[in-house]
Structure 1
Amino acid sequence: MTAVGDLDRKPAEAVRIAVSHAGDAALALAEIKRQLVTARPSFILLFVPNPLQPDDVARALRKSMPDTVVFGCTTAGQITPRGYEDDALLAIAFQRRHFRVASILFEPISPVSIADVVSQTERLVAQFRPTPGRERLALVFADGLSKQEDILMAALEVGLKDIPVFGGSAGDGLRFERTEVLRNGEFHSNAALLLLLETDLAFSGLGFDHFQPTDKRMVVTRAVPEERLVLEINGSPAAEEYARLVEVPVSELSPTIFAENPVLVRNRNLYHVRAIQQIQGKHGLTFLSAIDDGLLLTLGRGKEIIRTLDAGLAVRDKDEAPDFILGFDCYLRKLEIERKGLDGEASEQFRQHRVIGFNTYGEQHLGVHVNQTFVGVAFFRPKGVAPL
């Protein structure tokens, strides 16, 4: 076991962090509990690596922390105080003196009942009365294979009104078989978890990618929107046309190719990534965001990813660096970074900027579901607490 103090030489003031690399859920939770023995959490976020089975984690959690409020999800990788990892059980204990939380589970979310999501969210907001001098924000964790995040986020935006919301879609390594969210000691698939937080910390939302549009355009000419499946692009089989545009044989299409050659959708003057998940059948392409007939797509080209990462994370509050950044980073970004041999540099950026979080199957940023994007919340030390 590696002690957290060895990982995080300058510990955050508002959270406590615990990490275990044990391959057994009971041993991993026992290590987490020991590392958090001095914490006084309002709640804990638990990000589960692919090697651990959610059912085993749930059983161990009920035995080791029966009286602790724990939320979380399965992941496609973790961002610990070391940076990128794949086999780390990561726990973030939000200190009681700085945070208050309320939660709701939407289940099932496929299909989403917009009216139910709006009404339940409005009820939660009304019951979670604000404290003077404190601010509220929301976090959302959704089943990353539900294909419902776009509609869910639109409904949450209505229900939350002026409360900002950030989050990530649960992952499953690179298996794409089953993703789950955690609430009250139980994991749930086909579900989404909404956390309403109140804090005395100042915070700032982050959202950035590293792509710019090219002059290569595509029109979706045949799609199955409810499955996020594109069958034809520019009147040709989707996989063949995409491969032609990125100038590789269809046989070489892979998650890495998709990561480095995303398609973009323009919204006014901004471009959002519509990431490709995988080939479906012989010629179809499954996407990680909403897709429809007639949608105009633009092939994207990457900018220098480490430089944009550093610039995007360099947020300040009156020249003060964040106490910590809770980060939701797309797994496709991690794939590209690893293929280019830049994972060490990216991890160093995360360490310098105090980022902790997980790799997602999609990101939620201020009411919009996006892909291949880093989304986060930077929390700053409460006033009167001297920086380390």
Structure 2
Amino acid sequence: MNNAEVIRRHYSLSHDPEVVADELYEGLYQEQTECVIFFCSVEYDLPALAEALTRRFGDTMLIGCTTAGEITPLGTCKGSITGFSLPKAHFAVEAALIENLHHFSFSDTNTLLQQVMQNFNQKAFVPVQGHSFAFSLLDGLSIREELVLKSLNDSLGEIPLVGGSAGDDLFFKDTQVFYGDRFYRNAAVIILVNTDCPFVVYSTHHLTPQDNKLVVTAADAEARVVHELNAEPAALEYSQVVGVPIEDLCINTFALNPIGVKLHDEFHVRSLQKVNDDFSLSFFCAIDEGVVLSTCKRGNIVEHLRKTLEGLKKQVGQPQLVIACECIFRQLEIDQLNIRDDISAVLKDYNVIGFDAYGEQFNGRHVNQTFSGVAIGMPNG
């Protein structure tokens, strides 16, 4: 940490909750801390971790989520916890918990968000417009991202939004967010940040659409399941188009053979989750009949990442923190290409802290296979 930095970044590789709490506190504590945000592996005893962190950090605002992998000051990690602290001198933070996503209510959520915005406007110390962003963390198995994002979009106005869906190391059983003093399932946390530091929100990927088309001809939109592509059983048609035998289809092959859709001149990946017994395909995000999907060509993920981070640096100066929500499919690709060390070297150069997510949120959209987040520069003056 150099003298100009006001954000602290740290991590722990220990699995002892008390040691973790002590190490994070020693690395993140600063006088007048406004907020601590952390990302942790599901390998931890989560109730014990929550108790230890709450006891160690006292009244400090604590927010976090479980992951499918962590981005730490060491680069990419598994089985760890990482985070950062924001000081009151340069950041004002307001946060809220949205519970019971399975029975999501627009009216109740909008009422909550109106109160959050009112509190945030009172707390902000520089103009909200142009000096604020929203960061969201959602239960990655809730299948409610689109509904939550619609409410957030309606409430946030011109405040940019970015975030990620909590993971659980690809077990797809238990993803949780942390708010206050405990972890929650079936919930989301929305964090509003006002700052006098320069920042930019971003979302990017290294994929280019190709000419092969897959039209969704039968689907269950609510369950995010596609039964037919091009009027054929979905998994069989996908297998034929990408040239991968049906018996080899799995999450690793999905990561290397992505498909997506063009919306408003932008290409958005629609990540596949699994092949079902009836040869239908489950997706990680919204999908419906009539959608025209394209196969993708993968670019050089290391060079694309470096160019992305260098571009962010040109906008905000040397970043003291880059918050990153990275789709787990990117890490699956990185591992299969055996380039984790190369990726970690780039991440360390730009002070990236974040996690591998089950989907990302960017300005009202639920996106997949992206590297999304916020780059924050040094304080002005």
TM-score (norm 1): 0.93
CA separation of 1:12 and 1:236: change in aligned 2, threshold 3 A: farther
Residue 202 of structure 2 is aligned to residue 206 of structure 1: yes
User: Which of these residues, 222, 237, 242, is aligned with residue 241 of structure 1?
Assistant: 237
The answer as to whether partners of 1:221 and 1:294 remain within 8 angstroms in 2 is: yes
Secondary structure of the 1:227 match is: coil
Partner of 1:108: 100
User: Which of these residues, 100, 125, 135, is aligned with residue 131 of structure 1?
Assistant: 125
Letter in 1 for 2:238: Y
CA separation of 1:275 and 1:111: change in aligned 2, threshold 3 A: farther
Q: Percent of aligned positions with the same letter in both sequences?
A: 34
Unaligned runs of at least 5 residues, structure 1: 1-8
Residue 17 of structure 2 is aligned to residue 21 of structure 1: no
Q: What is the rounded CA distance, in whole Å, between the counterparts of 1:262 and 1:196 in structure 2? A: 33
Q: What is the rounded CA distance, in whole Å, between the counterparts of 1:322 and 1:248 in structure 2? A: 41
Q: What is the rounded CA distance, in whole Å, between the counterparts of 1:183 and 1:280 in structure 2? A: 35
Partner of 2:255: 259
Q: CA deviation at 1:316?
A: 3.2
Partner of 1:196: 192
Q: Map 1:213-362 to 2 at 5 A.
A: 213-314=209-310, 315-316=312-313, 320-362=317-359
User: Which of these residues, 88, 92, 110, is aligned with residue 118 of structure 1?
Assistant: 110
CA separation of 1:333 and 1:318: change in aligned 2, threshold 3 A: closer
Q: What is the rounded CA distance, in whole Å, between the counterparts of 1:376 and 1:87 in structure 2? A: 22
Q: What is the rounded CA distance, in whole Å, between the counterparts of 2:99 and 2:236 in structure 1? A: 37
Q: CA deviation at 1:57?
A: 1.3
Letter in 2 for 1:292: D
Runs of 4+ with deviation above 6 angstroms = none
Q: What is the rounded CA distance, in whole Å, between the counterparts of 2:141 and 2:126 in structure 1? A: 39
Superposed CA deviations along residues 141-173 of structure 1, whole A, max 9, x for unmatched, are 000011111221122111101111111100101
Secondary structure of the 2:323 match is: strand
Q: What is the rounded CA distance, in whole Å, between the counterparts of 2:316 and 2:354 in structure 1? A: 24
Residue 363 of structure 2 is aligned to residue 369 of structure 1: no
Q: What is the rounded CA distance, in whole Å, between the counterparts of 1:39 and 1:254 in structure 2? A: 48
Letter in 2 for 1:350: L
CA RMSD of aligned residues (A): 1.7
Q: CA deviation at 1:79?
A: 0.6
Q: CA deviation at 1:70?
A: 0.4
Question: What count of residue pairs does the alignment treat as equivalent?
Answer: 376
Q: CA deviation at 1:126?
A: 2.0
Q: CA deviation at 1:318?
A: 6.0
Letter in 2 for 1:132: V
Q: What is the rounded CA distance, in whole Å, between the counterparts of 2:203 and 2:54 in structure 1? A: 35
Q: CA deviation at 1:218?
A: 0.7
Unaligned runs of at least 5 residues, structure 2: none
Q: What is the rounded CA distance, in whole Å, between the counterparts of 2:350 and 2:369 in structure 1? A: 20
Residue 50 of structure 2 is aligned to residue 58 of structure 1: yes
Letter in 2 for 1:369: H
Q: CA deviation at 1:239?
A: 1.3
Q: What is the rounded CA distance, in whole Å, between the counterparts of 1:362 and 1:204 in structure 2? A: 20
Letter in 1 for 2:321: F
Letter in 2 for 1:92: F
CA separation of 1:302 and 1:234: change in aligned 2, threshold 3 A: same
CA separation of 1:20 and 1:316: change in aligned 2, threshold 3 A: closer
The answer as to whether partners of 1:133 and 1:200 remain within 8 angstroms in 2 is: no
